[in-house]
Amino acid sequence: MSEIDRMLAANEEWLGEFPGPVPVAPARKVAVVACMDSRMPLFGLLGLAVGDAHVLRNAGGLVTEDTLRSLAVSQHLLGTRSVVLVHHTDCGLNKATEEQFRAAVEEATGVRPPWPAGAFTDLDGDVRESIRRIREAPYLVTEEIRGTVYDVATGRLREVA
Ligand SMILES: [Zn+2]
């Protein structure tokens, strides 16, 4: 049985917990931008329920052009107004360099990717940079934006000043 077969079977089990249909617009008018890290169960650690928030995830929780696209849809079509960023300790992008990433891709595929991985050295600085990008995006109507770092060793969320 593959991992995906296990997931499909798990969904059958989960139907017993399915809360039923809820509106498409997030009830708490919040969008979460977070890293894809497998150790961050965002709904649980943020106290979110089904239908409460949009959750945008990518490697590093970076604010890319596609993140801005999703936030614009979230805000203008579905009414969210707050954004919370969730980066974390022990991030894969905090441990690698752009050159290591490009070299690894090239070694495996023969091609160097044209885009950066988003590697960073300063965790809090990376959160602040993400906040700045969202604040400066001219087509967003964000009313509140806050940045956090999740500690994968303790489960605690720390706000970045
Ligand atoms: Zn990460």
pLDDT computed for residue 115 by the predictor = 92
Residue 122 lies in a domain: yes
Number of domains in the chain: 1
Cα separation of 98 and 117, whole Å?
6
pLDDT computed for residue 98 by the predictor = 94
Residue 88, annotated as binding a ligand: yes
Planar angle of CA 85, 91, 93, nearest 5 degrees: 95
Residue 9 lies in a domain: no
Contact 49, 120 (CB under 8 A): no
Residue 119 lies in a domain: yes
What distance in angstroms lies between residue 45's CA and the mean position of ligand 1's atoms?
16
What distance in angstroms lies between residue 60's CA and the mean position of ligand 1's atoms?
4
Residues of the chain with pLDDT under 50: none
- Burial label for 42, CB within 10 Å (0-12, 13-18, 19+), is middle
Residue 54, annotated as binding a ligand: no
Contact 12, 63 (CB under 8 A): no
Q: What is the pLDDT of residues 75-111, one digit of tens each?
A: 999 999 999 999 999 999 988 899 999 999 999 999 9
Residue 101 lies in a domain: yes
pLDDT computed for residue 95 by the predictor = 85
The domain that holds 82 is classified in CATH as 3.40.1050.10
pLDDT computed for residue 57 by the predictor = 98
Residue 15 lies in a domain: no
Contact 58, 35 (CB under 8 A): yes
* Residues β-bridged to residue 149: 87, 158
Residue 91 lies in a domain: yes
Residue entry with tokens 């798990």:
10
pLDDT computed for residue 144 by the predictor = 98
pLDDT computed for residue 96 by the predictor = 87
Residue 146 lies in a domain: yes
Instruction: Please report the sign of the dihedral spanned by the C-alpha atoms of residue 42, residue 48, residue 50, residue 55.
Output: negative
Host domain of residue 112: 22-159
Residue 27 lies in a domain: yes
